[in-house]
Amino acid sequence: MSITRIISGGQTGADQGALDAAIRLNVSHGGWIPKARSSDAAFLDPERYGLTIMESTGYANFAQCRERNVMDADGSLILSCGPLQGPCAMTDRLARKHKKPVYQYDLDGYTDLTGIRKIHQWSLDNAICTLNVCGPLERENKDIYKEALHVIESLLRLSQIADEEKKINADDRTAAPRTAEEAVQILLRDLPLKDRSTIANMSAAELPLLDATIGKHIRARFELVNPQSPLVRSCAFLEGRPSLGESEASAVILRELAHRLHQTHRLRVVK
Say if residues 151 and 142 touch (Cβ distance below 8 Å): no
For CA atoms 41, 104, 128, 63, the dihedral sign is negative
- Compute the residue count for the chain: 271
Full-model pTM: 0.63
pLDDT at 77 over 90: yes
168 pLDDT tier (thresholds 50, 70, 90)? low
- Report CA-CA distances (Å) from 74 to 33, 106, 126, 167, 251: 19, 20, 8, 22, 49
pLDDT at 267 over 70: no
Residues 6+ apart with CB under 8 A from 57: 34, 35, 36
Vertex 125 angle, CA 124 and 130, to 5°: 50
The predicted structure's pLDDT at residue 73: 97
The predicted structure's pLDDT at residue 218: 93
The predicted structure's pLDDT at residue 268: 43
Percent of the chain, pLDDT > 90?
Answer: 60
Write the pLDDT tens digit of every residue in 203-258. Answer: 899 999 999 999 999 998 898 999 999 999 999 999 999 999 999 999 999 999 99
Q: Which domains does the chain have, with CATH numbers?
A: 5-171 (3.40.50.450), 176-264 (no CATH)
Which residues partner with 132 through β-bridges? 7, 76
Q: For residue 177, how many other CB atoms are within 10 A of its CB?
A: 19
Is the pLDDT higher at 77 or at 110?
Answer: 77
The predicted structure's pLDDT at residue 169: 60
**What are 91-96's contacts with CB under 8 Å, separation 24+?**
91/66, 91/132, 91/134, 94/66, 94/67, 94/70, 95/70
Is the pLDDT higher at 70 or at 166?
Answer: 70
Three-state secondary structure call for residue 43: strand
pLDDT at 150 over 80: yes
The predicted structure's pLDDT at residue 62: 84
Write the pLDDT tens digit of every residue in 21-59. Answer: 999 999 999 999 988 665 445 789 899 999 999 886 555
Percent of the chain, pLDDT > 70?
Answer: 88
CA 134 – CA 138 distance, rounded (Å)? 12
Say if residues 21 and 153 touch (Cβ distance below 8 Å): yes
Q: For residue 85, how many other CB atoms are within 10 A of its CB?
A: 12
CA 24 – CA 186 distance, rounded (Å)? 37
By the 10 Å C-beta count (0-12 exposed, 13-18 middle, 19+ buried), 126 is classed as middle
Of 47, 55, 54, nearest to 32 by C-alpha is: 54
Average pLDDT over residues 4-27: 95
